[in-house]
Homo-oligomer: A and B are copies of this chain.
Amino acid sequence: MPRMMKRLTVGNMAKINNISAQTLRYYDRIGLLSPNEIDPQTGYRYYHITQSVKLDLISHMKYLGMSLDKIRELFEENDQKRIAQNIDLQLEHLQEEKRKLEIMEKAALKFKHNLEEYALESKKTGAEVRTFKERKIFCYDGRVNIYESDMETYEYILRELKKQVILKNLPMVYFCNAGSIIRERDIRKAHFISTEIFLFLDEFFPPGDGVAIVPEGRYACISFKGEEGFSNEVEEAKRLLAFIRDQGFEIAGDYLCEVITEFPLFEKDHREMFIRLQIPVK
């Protein structure tokens, strides 16, 4: 049987409601919930147990993600329709938050996956043939041949790609897994010409403007640590082309240069990239 107390001091009210006395004082200060009675001499706050009702409501509405300001507003209006409206608003907000979390999770998994790929791939030295499923990319044509540019220009092109990503409302997640393309006709002639850079999207991404598909199939691959930007890419690419020729394969599509991860090799103010070159073969 609970002990009866007509007047509850902040501390008691706090204990009973599993809340801090400071918080109760704060609620008083912002005009959200004031004690039943305040001793005019001492300023002591005295609550009544039934004021817990309002505290329950406050905590419940907070739980729905409403701000204390909003809650006070709703208390003042005391209008059921407005409350229902706000619940719907909160539901939308929650959906939005959920979507954000999903994307964040995808980003984290991608990051992790990249780290694992790095750990795996960094042990390999030679070329090999691997099968990839269909992949989606978001392409951007920088109109500058990156093989004739320095890192500075590459950064500027990346910034432009980023602008596109923001413009098209793509989640920024994908921005950690970029690459560049050499079109089939150029790589067949061993011409290192690429003006297009891209981002890997995930399989669930809806097709649309700028979204291209990298077909499923067998790819000749080679991975290496990019030195001072792309300086050693051409050399590695030639090794990969030699591998294709030696194995009796034939180039079956566009050459992809994928930046697997940047982070673990992060040093100073330049990108230290782990790169995987891929050429589809038949």
Contacts and interface: CB of A to CB of B under 8 A. Distances in A.
Contact of A105 (B78, B94, B105, B266): B94
Interface of A: 1-2, 4, 16-18, 36, 48-54, 56-57, 59-60, 63-65, 75, 78, 80, 83-84, 87-88, 90-91, 94, 97-98, 101, 104-105, 107-109, 111-112, 115, 143-144, 151-153, 155-160, 162-163, 166, 172-173, 175-176, 262-264, 266-267, 269-271
Count of identical protomers in the assembly: 2
Given A98-B98, A264-B80, A143 B1 contact: yes
13 contacts: A4-B156, A49-B155, A50-B152, A50-B270, A54-B269, A56-B162, A60-B172, A60-B173, A60-B176, A75-B266, A88-B112, A94-B104, A98-B101
A152 B47 CA distance: 12
Given A4-B156, A50-B151, 11 more contacts: A17-B159, A56-B162, A57-B263, A59-B172, A60-B107, A60-B173, A60-B176, A63-B173, A87-B111, A91-B108, A94-B105
